Amino acid sequence: MKFFLDTASLEEIKHIHSIGILDGVTTNPSIIASNKKSFKEVISEICKITNGPVSAEVLTTEYDSMLKEAHTLSEIAENVVIKVPLIMDGIKLVSELTKRKIKTNVTLCFSSSQALLAAKVGATYISPFIGRIDDTGYNGLELIKDIKTIYTNYNFKTEILAASIRHPMHIKEVSLIGADVATLPYAVILNLVKHPLTDIGLEKFIEDSKKIIP
């Protein structure tokens, strides 16, 4: 499974990249808004840190304006992926960008029928928001399972990018289902390494190491 970091913090991206587990980065308008730099500047700086895919979202919802934005964003760096909302004009945009060999990430997916539409027009990634589905009282993991089955049935090449990840158990479950990518907040990535028995074992090792005769 590929790990994308869901952030616009250059320090967080540099840290995870230095560990060797960063495969890409996703951003969205809410994340970018928290940064004091311009949108293009942030995306450009992120692309200088990682060679992996960097999702940059269009900020309008009408086809012609989204198409202009998409081309402007795609010129920032070769690894920019155009993030598109799952609306009908968004599907039309993905269809056109696919013809132009521009990679896309279709976001705000909450149903398997939406995911089917995205795959039919050649989306590079589909982003089902499992945490937000969980918040409504439904099981977001069921959506990942359904999309995986549909994509396998028809040999779609669109990669399933599990989004709205809230905790390490989400990672375990989407990995078992077979999602291609998970995009994670910084804190969740840090929590993946944690386990109380690891802490206890490490404390014991450190204590015993003090008894070793050099």
Q: What letter would DSSP give residue 121?
A: T
Q: Which member of 83, 92, 103, 120 is catalytic?
A: 83
Q: Would residue 214 count as lying in a domain?
A: no
Residue 116 lies in a domain: yes
- Find the domain containing 175 and state its range: 2-209
Per cent of the chain over pLDDT 70 is 100
CA–CA separation, 175 and 53 (whole Å) = 20
pLDDT tens sequence across 138-197: 999 999 999 999 999 999 999 999 999 999 999 999 999 999 999 999 999 999 999 999
d(CA 37, CA 27): 14
Q: What is the pLDDT of residues 69-79, one digit of tens each?
A: 999 999 999 99
What are the Cα distances from residue 49, in Å, to 172, 188, 203? 27, 20, 35
Question: What is the per-residue burial (b if ≥16 Cβ within 10 Å, else e) of 68-100?
Answer: ebbeebbebeeebbbbbbbbebbbebbbbbeee
Taking residues 23-50, report their average pLDDT.
92
Structure-token pair, residue 13: 């991206």
Residues 6+ apart with CB under 8 A from 176: none
Q: What is the mean pLDDT of the chain?
A: 96
For the chain, what percent of residues have pLDDT higher than 90?
90
31 or 81: whose pLDDT is higher? 81
> 199 in a domain, yes or no?
yes
Whether 15 is covered by a domain: the verdict is yes
Q: Write down the pLDDT at residue 60.
A: 96
> How far apart (Å, rounded) are the C-alpha atoms in residues 38 and 6?
18
Q: Which helix (H) or strand (E) holds 6?
A: strand 2-6
Number of domains within the chain: 1
d(CA 210, CA 207): 6
Q: Which structure tokens are listed for 1?
A: 């499974």
Decide if 84 contacts 105 (C-beta within 8 A): yes
Q: What pairing do the DSSP bridges indicate for beta strands 2-6 and 104-109? A: unpaired
Is residue 84 situated within a structural domain?
Answer: yes
Tell me: pLDDT of 34 over 90.
no
- Identify the pLDDT of residue 36: 76
The predicted structure's pLDDT at residue 214: 76
Q: What pTM does this model have?
A: 0.94
Mark whether 120 is an active-site residue: no
The band of 210, judged by pLDDT with boundaries at 50, 70 and 90, is: confident
**pLDDT value of position 213:** 80
Nearest to 57 by CA among 84, 77, 80: 84
Is residue 118 included in any domain, yes or no? yes
58 lies in some domain? yes
Query: Is 177 within the bounds of a domain?
Result: yes
Q: How does DSSP classify residue 195?
A: -
CATH assignment of the domain containing 158: 3.20.20.70
More confident residue, 37 or 135: 135
Task: Compute the distance between CA of residue 169 and CA of residue 174 in angstroms, rounded to an integer.
Answer: 9
pLDDT tens digits, 110-153: 999 999 999 999 999 999 999 999 999 999 999 999 999 999 99
